[in-house]
Amino acid sequence: MHSKIRPYYLVFCSLNRNFAQKMAGLYIHIPFCKSRCIYCGFYSTTAFELRQQYTDALCCEIADRASGSIGTIYLGGGTPSQLTLSQLHQIFDTIYKYNKVEKDAEVTIEVNPDDVTEELAAALPTLSVNRVSMGAQTFDDERLAFLHRRHTSRQVGEAIDRLRKAGISNISIDLMYGFPEENLTSWQQDISTALTLDVEHLSAYCLMIEEGTPLYRMQIPPIDEELERTMYELLMDRLEAAGYEHYEISNWGLSPRPLQRERELRSYRSRHNSSYWNQTPYIGIGAAAHSYDGQCCRRWNISDIRRYIDGIRQGTCVYEEEWLDEDTRYNDCVTVALRTCEGINLKNLSARHRQYCLENAQHFIDDGLLKLSHDNHQLSLTRRGLFISDMIMSDLMLV
């Protein structure tokens, strides 16, 4: 079993193969950060003098890789809120000029709490932004300083108030747990503070010590596994009691509820991120951005802002691509679909992969770690299975 990875190419941006016509998600990577958090492994830069050049390059790539129909737009980073309003307008104007954006598209921007001025909040609806994702991480100011976060805990609530006044009705915050010397009492306090903010969506992650980050070089020991499990279980209990739907291992959205004067239900799941877990096609714009055609090809732009800008200026885009065989696509399905509450749709697997999956899943089903739907079409983790999801996924994958 092999997937075919090709080296960096200099290719004309307009050579978009079959990424066009059927895109569901559009991701724009904004790599600028005033300062780097000690845990972050994403590509970022503090070269603010390149913001306008980078914005121009983004707009060129957006135009050259125009899609058929867009259901979600996501500006991530980095810190997209570090762009000027003029630059944000330039990006969104280009997106809408060259793409057919659905009327009910989910349009998300990531922000830092301290960037959310009244001016920025008021501008977001004019950009068609209807969802904001904010990195709160913790409400302990000492831990925020430890992480090298720029904001204070007070600024999170202030930012949310400004966004509400501007008409943003879908807000997500990120939380972290598993800090050095953190205990259950302080984690309880973080959860309680988050719930008082009454946001529509929460993402929560255990602090990961990734190689190459400043945190890794600090040689801090990881959190005790039993404490990590207890913290995660506590989070699940508190959010479920507060009316949140646990729809993906690290993500919770307010349970679907009727819209005013309408019969349909509104879900607060992240539609854009669900594209990744459901293997829906998406296109990534900018340095280090990833794309997937939903079938057999993944590609990612070079993680070098200067080379990215220079390439676009010369009419080329520097990227790497990977062509996936059937077994690799099966493994991808296991590792992303099993993260969701629906799990793996067995009907989407070939007969060979379905048989292999069920044979390897049977002992987990017998042990109450995996469950089959009543019609035997969906295979998903149980609550107990969530705690050892990595091991279960590994056992279901082909080697």
- Give the per-residue pLDDT at 346: 97
What Å distances lie between residue 252 and 114, 175, 197, 380, CA to CA?
A: 24, 11, 15, 17
pLDDT tens readout for residues 32-83? 988 766 666 677 888 999 999 999 999 999 999 987 799 999 999 889 999 9
- Give the per-residue pLDDT at 265: 61
What is the Cα–Cα distance from 383 to 391, expressed in whole angstroms?
Answer: 14
Q: Report, as ranges of residue numbers, the positions in the chain whose pLDDT lies below 70.
A: 1-23, 36-41, 214-216, 257-265
Q: Report which residue type is found at 10.
A: L
pLDDT tens readout for residues 289-329? 999 998 889 999 999 999 999 999 999 889 999 999 999 99
Burial class (CB in 10 A: 0-12, 13-18, 19+), 79: buried
- Give the per-residue pLDDT at 41: 62
- Give the per-residue pLDDT at 45: 86
Cβ within 8 Å of residue 261, ≥6 positions away = none
- Give the per-residue pLDDT at 7: 43
- Give the per-residue pLDDT at 10: 40
What Å distances lie between residue 280 and 46, 337, 384, CA to CA?
A: 32, 11, 28
